[in-house]
Amino acid sequence: MEEAQEKDMDAVASFKSGKSLSITGRQDNICSRLQMINLLASSNRYGYIFYATESDGLVIIPSKYIDQKSSYLTKSSDDDDDNDDENQNLEKNSIIHRSYMPTQMINKNSLIIPYWLSLNADDSILAIVLSQLDTQTWYIIFYDVVKLIQSPDSTPIGTPINLSNNSIGDTIIHFTWNPAIPNMFAYIDGNGSVSTFEIDQNSKQLKSLGKCDANDDNSSICWSPKGKQIVVVTYDGVLELYEPNMKLKKKYPSAISANSLFPPCISVLWFSTHQFLLGFSENNPDENTNDNSFFHIMVTYDKDQLVRTQIYNDLFFDAYETPININSQYFYVRINESKIIVCGLTKSLKIHVLGSDELNQFSCNC
């Protein structure tokens, strides 16, 4: 990225409080039992929202448009109501970029389904995970964020990753960027195999770092806070810690009893050196939803791998009211400075903030 371009982009308005905007789009294809999705990404650095659906393709919206379109809400003291010229320009060019993704281009192929959008650690690269239904192929495509915002015809970074359904167990379950190394990422596929890559800073080509063996019990992944390792969690809560080259470094036993009737562990968040937040969820909750249907366990291991747990089991009792064809999926926002975790669930209208004295007494060197 050119220095002048970066300075121009950094000058874009940032998001303000008290603003909201409804965006439209359609995603008719129902996910498989294992499929996780993430169709929204936000760049605080540049002040843009990215979202994708099968009906709208990729859409990029500037924060100024959100400010102008949500003027009916309470305005902050620094809002400028007098700049009519700017508002008129925003109205004419309200959405910077609404275009179909590379394999959708000319024919607007409705069989190309976006499943995942993700920005890297410094908001400089946007990753898009797509599935093409007719050819049973998956793609992972990367864009330079500044170039993508400035030009609708921006060329992807390097050669997209092309994966057949058979090679990945029909799906990519989860995609995640390294939180400290902007050019490194990982994904877990439907076979339970985890692959790690890096994007060469000079050639912009992808380099495979490692891949672990397939394991149907593996459910999710998460980088350590400093990006030195990656953890793989199984459905029964066993944790395996790997180096970026996918060499196994350590294994922690599950914190739950083998004889328990707990639902599957579907997510993991690496909180501090020996501390992990595990999310458990029923696949199809009903009117019998109870304390054991949706809950989190904060798990802390000592040097002898003895475990201490803090259970959060009163978070999402409204989940059974939503359609059963929506997969259970937890979403997290981590505020590292305050060691606070904001948690949501696809099947619930509730958002919860997790944080306590017990959670805040650990440091991380991982």
Tokens of 18: 């008290």
**From CA 134, how far away is CA 217, in angstroms rounded?**
28
Domain end point (choices 216, 245, 276): 216
Confirm whether 31 is domain-assigned.
no
259 and 179, same domain (yes or no): no
Element (DSSP H or E) covering residue 89: helix 84-92
Does residue 286 lie in a domain region?
yes
What is the count of structural domains for the chain? 2
Taking only Cα atoms into account, the Rg of the chain, rounded to an integer number of angstroms, comes to: 21
In terms of domains, do 186 and 312 share one?
no
What CA–CA distance (Å, rounded) separates 272 from 301? 11
One domain for residues 6 and 142: yes
Nearest CA among 205, 359, 350, 194 for reference residue 276: 359
Tell me the mean pLDDT per 10 residues along the chain, length 366: 51 49 56 67 88 78 70 48 46 47 50 88 94 88 90 83 92 94 96 96 91 95 96 96 97 83 88 89 58 79 83 67 66 71 76 62 49
Q: 276 with 364, same domain? A: yes
Tokens of 109: 């192929």
Do residues 189 and 140 lie in contact, with contact meaning Cβ atoms separated by under 8 Å?
no
Q: Is residue 156 located within the same domain as residue 263?
A: no
Instruction: Give kind and range of the element (H or E) at residue 279.
Output: strand 275-281
Q: How far is CA 213 from CA 148, 181, 304, in A?
A: 35, 24, 27
Tell me 13's DSSP state.
P
Q: What is the pLDDT of residue 68?
A: 66
Rounded to whole angstroms, the Cα distance separating 156 from 132 reads 18
Tell me, yes or no, whether 143 and 59 share the same domain: yes
In this prediction, residue 25 carries a pLDDT of 57
Looking at 216, 236, 262, which one is the last position of a domain? Answer: 216
Question: Residue 41, class by beta-carbon neighbours within 10 Å (0-12 exposed, 13-18 middle, 19+ buried)?
Answer: buried
Residue 337: per-residue pLDDT: 61
* Residues 286 and 182 both lie in one domain: no
Q: Does residue 128 lie in a domain region? A: yes
Q: Looking at residue 96, what is its pLDDT?
A: 45
Residue 129 lies in a domain: yes
Q: Confirm whether 23 is domain-assigned.
A: no
Closest CA relative to residue 231, chosen from 215, 217, 214, 249: 249
Residue 109 lies in a domain: yes
Please list the helix, strand and coil fractions of the chain in percent, rounded to the nearest 5, in that order: 10, 35, 50
Determine the structural domain holding residue 148 and report its residue range: 1-15+36-74+81-216
User: 92 and 196: one domain?
Assistant: yes
Please indicate, yes or no, if residue 22 is contained in any of the structural domains.
Answer: no
Q: Which of 63, 61, 85 is nearest to 19 (CA)?
A: 63
CA nearest 241: which of 313, 299, 167, 163?
Answer: 299
For residue 134, CA distances in Å to 36, 54, 269, 295 come to 20, 14, 35, 38
